[in-house]
């Protein structure tokens, strides 16, 4: 299947400059090059004015054009009339027992999205959303119960980041990493995510190192190929979660369009620079994708890829009916994969008590699917209705 369905098509490449003349154009909808082109067309301003505005707004946090004192007064007045600078109101903020914070941000058209400030031993990681809901239908992800509502505009993505930057002052902390692993499939909303990334890594923008940013995908092969030639040199994570097409199709319907063979082929063709590695994410679902055979197949599947594996024990709090394997069994997988020469880490859940962990994000009043029946349907389909205790396979999986 070469073409994407309507719900899988990437967005257009033009910045969204919605807004009436009276309310102004959204400043956050532009990257620096687009802003320079807009300023030249509208005011005949030189390109360096965009650099100045970016530095004042993103680096200095100045939102009043009148305070941008190295810009001519007349132009400042014109800018104040031409642009609006929206914020994402914090509709709620929850704090986990482990220090993780979950934000519900208001966005345009009455929408809302969740972002998470993940507390880790040596750093903070910000997890942002790229869509309201998600159309990929992954069986283990609570966001999928919302269905797909719409893509977030570039501005709405950036507003999450800026909103957390502002609120972090109340806690005297700041994130060191950003992951696009919140609500939505980032590469489905390709152009808006790429534009937001260009602002995040821009030295005159938020100036975040590309190596500190990771974009996750379910495996939209055409978008992965486009990502490889985009010039935005951030990290890529692939949500794999199965070692056969049969199991993966049940867990991740996108596999029907882009089976494992094609996905792995696309990953092999990516231009991965230097020591950079792809991240293979593997959500471990007890009795579904964690058999001894899966453990034998996984190293063969990723053989030759410049990749590391991130094992993610399923969060039972997502309420979808799956179970998580024991901690000892997860560590056994890590040991086996490590002995085979694969750098393997485990992502232990953070923020479970506030529904902020991996696979738990969802705006509750938008959830549609009956959660309790999802895992049962998958288990019946993969022939795992009678599950074998995965701990019993510890020795046979080596």
Concatenated DSSP letters of 272-305: --TT--EEEEEEE-TTTS-SHHHHHHHHHHTTTS
Q: Provide block-wise average pLDDT over 10 residues at a time, the chain (398 residues).
A: 40 53 86 98 97 97 96 97 95 91 93 91 93 93 89 98 96 96 96 98 97 97 95 94 97 97 97 88 96 98 96 82 93 98 88 53 52 50 44 43
Sequence length of the chain is 398
The domain 90-393: what is its CATH number? Answer: 3.20.20.70
Give the Cβ contact number of residue 141 at 10 Å.
27
Considering the entire predicted model, what is its pTM?
0.87
Contact (CB, 8 A) for 151 and 99:
no
The active-site residue, picked from 134, 138, 141, 358, is 358
Q: Is 134 a catalytic residue?
A: no
**Which residue in 64, 68, 115 sits closest to 89, CA to CA?**
115
Helix (H) or strand (E) holding 334: helix 327-339
Sign of CA dihedral 301, 303, 308, 311: positive
**Which residue in 139, 163, 349, 320 sits closest to 241, CA to CA?**
139
**Which residue in 285, 360, 364 sits closest to 330, CA to CA?**
285
Q: Is 114 a catalytic residue?
A: yes
The domain limits of the chain are 25-84, 90-393
Written as six digits, the tokens of 197 are: 């990334």
Contact (CB, 8 A) for 35 and 50:
yes
DSSP strand pairing (101-106 vs 90-95) = antiparallel
Domain 25-84 has CATH 1.10.150.530: yes
- C-alpha distances in angstroms, 3 versus 8, 220, 225? 9, 11, 14
**Which residue in 202, 266, 269, 188 sits closest to 234, CA to CA?**
202
* φ, ψ of residue 101 in degrees (nearest 5): -120, 135
The C-alpha R_g of the chain, in whole angstroms, comes to 22
pLDDT value for 386 = 34
pLDDT value for 275 = 75
The active-site residue, picked from 18, 51, 114, 367, is 114
């Amino acid at each position: 299947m070469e073409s994407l369905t309507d719900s899988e098509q990437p967005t257009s490449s033009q910045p969204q400059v919605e807004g009436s003349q009276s309310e102004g154009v959204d400043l956050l909808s532009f990257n620096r090059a687009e802003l320079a082109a807009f300023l030249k067309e509208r005011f005949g301003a030189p390109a360096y004015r965009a650099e100045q505005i970016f530095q004042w707004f993103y680096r200095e946090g100045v939102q009043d054009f009148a305070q941008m004192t190295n810009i001519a007064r007349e132009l400042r007045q014109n800018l104040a009339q031409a642009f609006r600078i929206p914020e994402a109101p914090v509709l709620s903020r929850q704090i986990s027992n482990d220090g993780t914070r979950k934000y519900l941000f208001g966005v345009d058209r009455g929408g809302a999205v969740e972002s998470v400030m993940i507390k880790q031993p040596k750093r903070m990681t910000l997890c942002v959303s790229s869509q309201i809901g998600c159309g990929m239908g992954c069986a283990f992800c609570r966001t999928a119960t919302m269905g797909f509502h719409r893509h977030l505009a570039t501005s709405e993505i950036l507003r999450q980041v800026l909103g957390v930057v502002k609120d972090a002052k109340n806690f005297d902390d700041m994130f060191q990493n950003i992951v696009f692993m919140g609500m939505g499939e980032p590469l489905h909303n390709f152009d808006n995510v790429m534009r937001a990334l260009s602002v995040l890594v821009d030295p005159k923008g938020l100036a975040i190192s590309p190596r500190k940013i990771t974009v996750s995908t379910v495996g939209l092969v055409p978008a992965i190929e486009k990502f490889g030639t985009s010039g935005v040199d951030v990290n890529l994570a692939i949500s794999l979660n199965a070692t056969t097409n049969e199991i993966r199709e049940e867990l991740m319907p996108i596999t029907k369009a882009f089976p494992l063979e094609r996905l792995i082929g696309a990953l092999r063709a990516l231009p991965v620079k230097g020591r950079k590695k792809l991240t293979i994410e593997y959500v471990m679902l007890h009795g579904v994708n964690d058999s001894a055979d899966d453990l034998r197949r996984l190293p063969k599947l990723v053989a030759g890829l410049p990749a590391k594996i991130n094992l993610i024990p399923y969060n039972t709090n997502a309420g979808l009916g799956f179970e998580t394997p024991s901690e000892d069994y997860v560590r056994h997988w890590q040991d086996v994969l490590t002995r085979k020469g694969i750098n393997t880490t485990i992502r232990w859940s953070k923020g479970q008590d506030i529904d902020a962990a991996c696979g738990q994000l969802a705006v509750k009043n938008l959830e549609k699917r009956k959660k309790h029946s999802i895992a049962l349907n998958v288990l019946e389909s993969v022939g795992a209705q009678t599950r074998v205790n995965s701990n019993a396979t510890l020795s046979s999986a080596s």
